[in-house]
């Protein structure tokens, strides 16, 4: 019994004692993929990384809302977002410092903020994933509008369109094809029995397990199912039409963060080609936005995908309206 206080004291001392410099980063990219990158930065720089991630079911929205709520005393130095629209929301709120790391110079202009407040790396695409034993290849969905057809009634799943990349997708459609056409598409999905689940990974799991025939998800989730050897196939929708939404991760430096100089070092690290290559090699199969970085496989090469032409500023402006519409349609 006498040893108990000593052990507790040792634990307490250990908890108190870490004198390394530290940088705080909010991360919306799934932790399984972001952690190795941040661990490497920690090992190479000697700067301790304190990372906060958000759960699958509230992807991106939760952390962005927290940044907005705590804008007077931000906790984070850097925000590693997994899409560009909410980066623009934060930019409009005046929360971002300008950044122009040298390593980001070769990132194409369409994946960089013209005012230098964010830059994009390692993209994902919105894809259709279907179960090959439940769906013949000739009947496979190839367009978002295929899910409004009678043969797909109740046979497809989507992640909650209020959060994550699905909300980004909806806002991008609002901006690209117009409000009315997007509303008609979403209403068509609802009427056709779309199964709304908590996240892209849930939708992917349902297809993997054969519980549902097809789903809308992201390339990283789809690739994981393919690499597990499940009977699934991935399709880039609307390659003959409006194109597929391709959206990068975005790196942002938060204004007023507790460690701005260390935050800049992390930003410079994340801008390097090595980081993008690492993300491309990983199971998340992120799509390199820069030339010369080998993709995970030929199907993840940017030049082979007909990407939707999105005005990010317009799409960011449509976030609120699209969110209200989605909430009224799917949550009430």
Partner 1 sequence: MVRNLPAFLRIAIPALLLTLVLLPVARMLLVSLGDPGYRALLADERQATLFVRSVRLAALASALALVWGWIAARAIAGTRGVLSAALETATYLPLFLPSIVVVKGLDYFFLPGGPARALGIEIDLGNEPGAAAVLSLCYYPWAAIALGAGLRGLDPAWSEVARLHRGRWATFRRVEGPLLAPYAVFAALLVFVFALSDCAVPAALRVNVYAVEVVTQLSFYYDMPRAVACAMPPVVLAAGLSAAFLIVARVHRTVGSRPRAAAWRGSALAAVPAGALAAVSGALPLWMHVRTAGSAGSFSRAFQVAGREALTSLWVASLSTALLLSAGAAMGWALSRSSRGWALAAKVLLVSTLAIPGAVVGLGVVLLDPAAVLPGSLGRASPLLWAIFARSFAIPSLVLFAAWSSIEPRLLQAAALAGSSRLRAGARIALPLLAPGLLAAGVLSFTAALGELPASMLAAPPGLMTLPARIHSLLYFAEDRIVASLCLALAFFALAALGITLALSPVRSGLRLDAR
Residues in touch with partner 1 (CB under 8 A): 1, 8, 11-12, 14-18, 22, 24-26, 30-32, 48-58, 61-62, 65-66, 68-69, 75-76, 162-163, 198-199, 201-202, 205, 209, 211, 228
| Shortest distance (Å) from residue 22 CB to partner 1 | 8
As a three-state string, the secondary structure of 101-152 is CHHHCCCCHHHECCCCCEEEEEEEEEEEEEECCCCCHHHCCCCHHHHHCHHH
Phi, psi of 118 (to 5 degrees): -155, 160
Our CB check for partner 1 shows the closer of 18 and 137 to be: 18
| Shortest distance (Å) from residue 328 CB to partner 1 | 13
| Shortest distance (Å) from residue 312 CB to partner 1 | 23
Our CB check for partner 1 shows the closer of 43 and 69 to be: 69
| Shortest distance (Å) from residue 74 CB to partner 1 | 11
Our CB check for partner 1 shows the closer of 3 and 136 to be: 3
Our CB check for partner 1 shows the closer of 164 and 288 to be: 164
Our CB check for partner 1 shows the closer of 65 and 143 to be: 65
Our CB check for partner 1 shows the closer of 148 and 167 to be: 167
Task: Tell how strand 118-131 and strand 232-235 pair up.
Answer: antiparallel
For 154, residues 6+ apart whose C-beta sits below 8 A from its C-beta are 192, 193, 195
User: Looking at the chain, how many residues does it have?
Assistant: 332
- For residue 184, give Cα distances in angstroms to 25, 26, 318, 326: 39, 35, 16, 12
Produce one character per residue of 255-266: b if its CB has 16 or more CB atoms within 10 Å, e if not. bebebeebbbbb
| Shortest distance (Å) from residue 107 CB to partner 1 | 26
Our CB check for partner 1 shows the closer of 13 and 109 to be: 13
Task: Tell how strand 48-53 and strand 22-27 pair up.
Answer: parallel
| Shortest distance (Å) from residue 85 CB to partner 1 | 16
What sign does the dihedral 321-325-327-332 (CA atoms) show?
Answer: positive
| Shortest distance (Å) from residue 199 CB to partner 1 | 5
């Amino acid at each position: 019994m006498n040893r108990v206080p000593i052990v507790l004291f040792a634990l307490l001392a250990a908890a108190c004692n870490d004198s390394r410099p530290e940088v705080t980063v909010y991360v919306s990219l799934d932790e399984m993929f972001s952690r190795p990158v941040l661990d490497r930065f920690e090992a190479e720089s000697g700067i301790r990384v304190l990372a906060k991630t958000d759960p699958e079911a509230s992807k991106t929205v939760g952390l962005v809302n927290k940044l907005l709520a705590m804008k007077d005393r931000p906790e984070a130095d850097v925000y590693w977002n997994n899409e560009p629209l909410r980066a623009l929301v934060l930019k409009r709120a005046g929360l971002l410092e300008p950044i122009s790391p040298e390593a980001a110079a070769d990132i194409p202009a369409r994946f960089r903020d013209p005012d230098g407040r964010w830059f994009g790396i390692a993209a994902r695409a919105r894809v259709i994933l279907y179960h090959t034993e439940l769906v013949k290849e000739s009947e496979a969905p190839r367009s978002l509008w295929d899910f409004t057809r009678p043969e797909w009634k109740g046979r497809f799943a989507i992640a909650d369109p209020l959060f994550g990349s699905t909300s980004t997708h909806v806002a991008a459609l609002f901006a690209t094809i117009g409000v009315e056409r997007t509303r008609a598409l979403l209403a068509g999905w609802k009427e056709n029995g779309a199964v709304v689940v908590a996240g892209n990974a849930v939708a992917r799991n349902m297809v993997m397990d054969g519980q549902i025939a097809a789903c809308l998800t992201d390339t990283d989730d789809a690739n994981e199912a393919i690499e597990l050897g499940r009977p699934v196939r991935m399709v880039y929708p609307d390659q003959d039409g409006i194109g597929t939404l391709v959206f990068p991760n975005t790196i942002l430096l938060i204004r007023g963060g507790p460690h701005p100089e260390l935050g800049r070092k992390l930003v410079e690290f994340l801008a390097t080609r090595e980081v993008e290559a690492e993300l491309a090699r990983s199971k998340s199969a992120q799509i390199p936005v820069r030339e010369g970085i080998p993709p995970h496989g030929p199907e993840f090469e940017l030049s082979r995908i007909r990407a939707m032409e999105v005005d990010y500023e317009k799409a960011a402006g449509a976030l609120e309206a699209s969110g209200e519409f989605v909430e009224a349609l799917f949550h009430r």
